[in-house]
Structures are given as C-alpha cells and as structure tokens.
Structure 1
Amino acid sequence: MIWFVNYKSDTSLTVTDRGLAYGDGVFETISATSKSLLHIDDHLSRLYRGLTKLGMPFSEDQKQYLCTFLYSSILPLIESDSVVKIMVTRGEGGRGYLPPENCLHTVIIGILPAPDYETQRQKGVSLSVSPVPVSENRFLAGIKHLNRLENVMAKQFLMKSDFEAIMLNNNDEVVECIQSNIFWLSQGVLYTPSLATSGVQGTFRKYLIENQEQYLIQIGQFPLSDLLNADEVFITNSLMGIVPVTYIAGKSFPIGMDTRKLQTLM
C-alpha cells in the first residue's frame, strides 16, 4: 500500500483532523489498472458533490490539482489491478461540531491491492437481510461520507455463509446492501431502489442505468416482498461490477440470461 497526505508521500494525520473526530468528510474507492482509473469522472463528480453538500466545496483550482495529481503521480505507480482510495476531510479547526468558516482540506490518497471478485461474478452469492436499518436523511443521501457506522454494524451481523446483506429503511423498504447497490428483474423490467433519502448512489449503478438500453427501469420505493418475488437479482459496485444473487435469506434465485447479458454489456 502507498499513501499520500496532502499530495505528499505520508501516512500520518493530525489527531485534531475533523475526519477523525466527526467523520467530517467524503471518500471514493476507484478501480484502477496500469492504464486507467475506471469511471473516474463519475467518482470525482460524486466526491465534489459530497463536499458541496457538506459545505466545504473544492475550488476549480483544487479540482484541477487533484485530477492532475491522479494522472501524473498516482497512475504511473499502478502496475497491476488496484484500488485508488481518496478521502477528503474538512481538516482541522472549529469549535466542537461548528466547522471553521474557511476550511483547509486534508486530502488522503492511497493505492491498495484490488480484491478478486471473479468467483462471485461467475457463481453468484448469498444475501441475508440485515437487522441494522438505514437512516433516512435527504441532506446526506447519495454521498459517500466518512461516517459509515451503520455499515460497520451491519457487517458485524453478517454471517460467514453470506457475501452481503440487504439493508432496509425504517419502513422495511429495500435501500441497498452493506457495500453495494441492488437490482432485480421481474417480467423483463429492471428495478432498483430510489436513493433520494438514504443510501449511496453508486457510480456503477449510475453507469448501468445510463448505459443499458435493453430494459425498462423502475426506480422507486419497494418492499422486501417485491425483491423476493423477482425473477433474477444482482448487486453492483465499482470494484465488483455485476454479481448475481443466488440466495436471499434461504430463497434461491437462478443466474438468469438477463443478468449474464448485462454482465457482458457492462
């Protein structure tokens, strides 16, 4: 692993950084090869959108500097499939929760080994239903902020036999999985939950919705029963791509032709 703090090779961070104290920041995990940073524009767009939502937007000069650094200093260091992780916090300052009027961002960038999801993509995975609900907050919905305690707690409940867990909101509607978005097909229609008030708007989710033309897509609020009555189910994120689901809480699902077709298309 290689780490940079504020664009310099470093692994240290001040103990007064607001990212540590309050989770006051955002992050991205980007799939990378020796030649490219995959879906980089969507990742950076979500990063900037998250910073703006939190009231600490990047200037145009900061955006340009980050982009230039990624291509001039990070990409040349990547020799094999990797993950580039970017974390941006509000930095130091402020009294208690009140942030400083003018923040000096802390920018952390790491290069990590890429996980191998090929077996899961081919054979499918089992999901459970998490007892940990997803909070609804339209001010934080969609972004990848650094306060991920719900996901941490959900991961602790996850059984070893299950790859992922479905997370519901307080109305028992499907939102997402712990670290992925979820889709299902019923009678030729593709469904995925709305993330207007909770959940993370995955970059691969966005890419799939915008680039597939095979299916009518319904985005909305759906009870768990709709998902359990699906013909095919799959999960996605920027590192794993499309992974078929073969079991949910003991109910089996086929790896269907539509899922395989989308894997090929995407």
Structure 2
Amino acid sequence: MQWFINYQQDLISPSDRGLAYGDGLFETIKVFPAGFEYLDEHIERLSRGLKKLAMPYSAAQLAQLRFFLHDSILPLVNKESVVKIIVTRGEGGRGYLPPKECQHTILIGLADAPDYQVQKNRGVALGISDVPVSENPFLAGMKHLNRLENVLAKQKLDDQHFEDVMLDGHGYVIECIQSNIFWFKAGVLYTPSLSQAGVQGVFRHHILSDQTRYHAEIGNFPLHTLKQADEIFITNSLMGIVPVISLLGSSMPIGVHTQQLQQLMQTKDVHDVY
C-alpha cells in the first residue's frame, strides 16, 4: 500500500495519539479510474465521527481532503482499488487528556482492491464468533480505531468460514467481523440495530435509505432469529452484497430477494462513482 501522511510522503510520530490510544477514525473507500464510490457518504461519516470525538474537521480541511483525493490520488488509479483514510488527533495532551487545540494527523493509503466476485456469485459460509461486541452508545456506529474485538475475532475465524457473526453481551446479533448483516424472512428484510454497538456501514446506509423495493425492520434480534431466516447476506463498501449459503453448517439457497437487491444496488453503484 502506498501511503501519504499529511498530504505528503512523510513519517508519523511515535507519540501520535492514534498509535497510543486509538484516538481517531478511518474510512475504506472503493475507487475506480472514473472516480470514488460513495465518497460523499464516507466523508460525511468521517466528519460526523470527528465531531462526536470533539476533534472536528473544518470546511476548509474537508475541502483540502477532497482536493487531494481527486487531484493526487485519482491519477494514480488505473484499476479497481481501495483508498484508506485514517485521521487521528495527532500529538499532545497529558496522558488520556487530549490537547485543547487538535492538530490532526491524516494518513491516506492506496492499494489494489480485493476481488469478491466469486463470493458474490457463489455465496459464503458463516460461523458464530465467541468474541462479544462491547456496548457503548457513545461510540456505536463510528468506525473508530479501537478494533481489538475484530482483530481477536478474525484471529479465531475458522478456515471454513468466510465471516463470523458477532453478538453483544445479551446474545443479540450485531454484525460480522468486517461486514454488516441482513436477512429475509417471509419476504421481509431485517437488520440489527446499531444504537449500542457496531459500525454503521456506508453500504448498509444505502440499502436502508432505498425505499423503492424493501423496507427493513431494525431491532434487537437473538441468534435463533437469524437461524430461522430464509435468506442471509452480508455487506460492506468493498464487496457490496455477498449472499450467505451456510450458517454454522446449515445450508440455505441464494434467495430471489437477495439476488434482486444485488442487481438493484449494482445499478445504483454505477451512478454513485464520482
């Protein structure tokens, strides 16, 4: 991965608060030679999270980020790729106490995109992680840098499973290790509430905001609800919609609703690259 730090090829300080405390956020964006996919939504989520962490980006800083992405990163893109943006609070402060004036560190990396076409066509198997998701309504939804739960869950992932479902301390389904999860039951679309835990994915947001075909029921669902589903699929910004064909060894078909939603979102993706 090629990295730029503070819009140049620089070094990051060992005392950066992102390294010391995970004091920051990140975004992972799919990019093509024609442009970035869902760029507005990624920057809006980044801006919203920075504001919530009391380290907001100004309008000028957001404009500078957009300009660098289009002027310096996009010309480097000659095939489907991934841009990762990390923003930390920078250096300073005493212990956990952050400095009054934030001097952000911004890291922007560019790499080839992983190919999920086989998984999108054939479907994947899911297991259940024994690593619980922590509940914190203040941090819920944000893509912050404190991802040790996901690191541990990924480390324990069985080779036969593409992803594991992660539950909270009450046994409610929250998400997968690196994706959001949806399912259909009797033609109705369901997805977990992320008000207490989990990451509000940009692709998840687009599915929920598209009312032309499906209205999703959002709530606290125990694992047995997921096991009774007719169709399951997982999503994130890089892989789109990936059908699930096995949950803990129990097989299921790739359903018609999942296929229709795949086609619908693929059509939308074409119009959301800029």
- How far, CA to CA, are the matches of 1:182 and 1:151 in structure 2? 15
Q: Deviations over 1:41-72 (max 9, x none)?
A: 11001101111111100011111111111111
2:103 counterpart residue number: 104
- How far, CA to CA, are the matches of 2:61 and 2:81 in structure 1? 24
2:12 counterpart residue number: 13
User: How large is the RMSD of aligned CA atoms in angstroms?
Assistant: 0.8
2:245 counterpart residue number: 246
- How far, CA to CA, are the matches of 1:112 and 1:186 in structure 2? 38
For residue 8 of structure 1, give the secondary structure of its aligned residue in structure 2.
coil
Following superposition, the deviation at residue 211 of structure 1 comes to 1.9
Q: Deviations over 1:80-137 (max 9, x none)?
A: 1000000000000000000000010000001011000000000000000000000010
2:91 counterpart residue number: 92
User: For the Cα contact (< 8 Å) 2:208–2:215, is it kept in 1?
Assistant: no
Instruction: Provide the TM-score with structure 1 as the length reference.
Output: 0.98
2:133 counterpart residue number: 134
Counterpart residue identity of residue 9, structure 2:
S
Aligned: 1:227 with 2:226: yes
Aligned: 1:265 with 2:273: no
Q: Deviations over 1:16-48 (max 9, x none)?
A: 000000000000000000111000011001101
Following superposition, the deviation at residue 177 of structure 1 comes to 0.2
For residue 36 of structure 2, give the secondary structure of its aligned residue in structure 1.
coil
2:178 counterpart residue number: 179
Following superposition, the deviation at residue 197 of structure 1 comes to 0.9
- How far, CA to CA, are the matches of 1:185 and 1:130 in structure 2? 22
Aligned residue pairs, count: 265
> How has the CA–CA distance of structure 1 residues 185 and 200 changed in structure 2, closer, same or farther, with 3 Å as cutoff?
same
Misfit runs of 4+, over 2 Å: none
- How far, CA to CA, are the matches of 2:136 and 2:179 in structure 1? 19
User: For the Cα contact (< 8 Å) 2:129–2:167, is it kept in 1?
Assistant: yes
Q: How do residues 20-59 of structure 1 correspond to structure 2 at under 5 angstroms?
A: 20-59=19-58
Q: Which runs of 5+ in 1 are unaligned?
A: none
Q: How do residues 135-214 of structure 1 correspond to structure 2 at under 5 angstroms?
A: 135-214=134-213
Identity of aligned residues (%): 59
- How far, CA to CA, are the matches of 1:90 and 1:193 in structure 2? 31
User: For the Cα contact (< 8 Å) 1:212–1:265, is it kept in 2?
Assistant: no
Aligned: 1:81 with 2:80: yes
User: For the Cα contact (< 8 Å) 2:22–2:144, is it kept in 1?
Assistant: yes
Following superposition, the deviation at residue 216 of structure 1 comes to 2.8
- How far, CA to CA, are the matches of 1:98 and 1:131 in structure 2? 33
- How far, CA to CA, are the matches of 1:40 and 1:3 in structure 2? 19
Following superposition, the deviation at residue 210 of structure 1 comes to 1.0
